[in-house]
Amino acid sequence: MSELDKKVLEAIERRRLAPRPPIFFLAKRSVFWVLAAVSLAVGAIAVAVIIYGVTDQFATGGRGFEEMPLDDIFEYLPLAWFAIAALFLASAVFGLKHTRRGYRYPTAVVFGAAMVASVVLGGLLYAANIGWHVHEFLESISPAYERLTESADDEWDQPDEGRLAGRVVGYDGKSTVTLQDFDGVTWTVSVEGATLNLDEPLGSDEDVAILGERTGPTTFKAHSIGEWD
């Protein structure tokens, strides 16, 4: 036995080293795969909520991006979910890079693949209404979450900015609508000369979104009335 062999054996004995079972390495690799999968799933849910938040704001009542100032657009984007998506995307990249063969691929390639996977899966979850369900669930259990996000109700509950929405509870058939907004306040709305963008005739017990101007504490002049989706 050579001197080197003796030193190696002495080091093994001194450090009490022992071969690790194959299950140890399998479990270690599995941890990174699980981390990557869970991170991609949470990232996809975040993407679904982002898509829901954006479409909810700009599909309800008919006010699109081209009609909104830049500061309004950023105000109503669900920025909290962008942060969540970015965090879990980074976590997915970390997990994939530490899998058995993940280290071989450039970080940019892994990041791009993870981003595409999150967006595609997020789109599918949005189509299945998962984004809406997650948003509604978190709003129902967390006041802090509700403060971090804006809903379409908030977007249209701004009479001083010319936006009002709620349920029609009365209509004289000619020029005046009685509207109860989403905070329970009753408004008298003049609809004479207003453009109607409704699938059904204006009547009672339907939700509408109104663009116009405030004329008093609880009075409003409508310029156009659209569907509340």
Instruction: Give the span between the Cα atoms of 133 and 122, in whole angstroms.
Output: 13
Q: What is the pLDDT of residue 3?
A: 67
Instruction: Give the span between the Cα atoms of 48 and 130, in whole angstroms.
Output: 7
* Neighbour-count burial of 130, counting CB atoms closer than 10 A to its CB (0-12 exposed, 13-18 middle, 19+ buried): middle
Are the C-beta atoms of 130 and 174 separated by less than 8 Å? no
- Tens of pLDDT, residues 14-58: 666 556 666 655 666 677 777 788 888 888 888 888 888 777 766
Quick check: 155 pLDDT over 80? no
**All domains in the chain, ordered by first residue:** 3-150 (no CATH), 157-227 (2.40.50.140)
Q: What contacts 195, CB < 8 A, 6 or more positions away?
A: 223, 224, 225
Mean pLDDT of the chain: 77
- Tens of pLDDT, residues 97-140: 777 777 777 888 888 888 888 889 999 999 998 988 888 788 77
CB atoms within 10 A of CB 21: 9
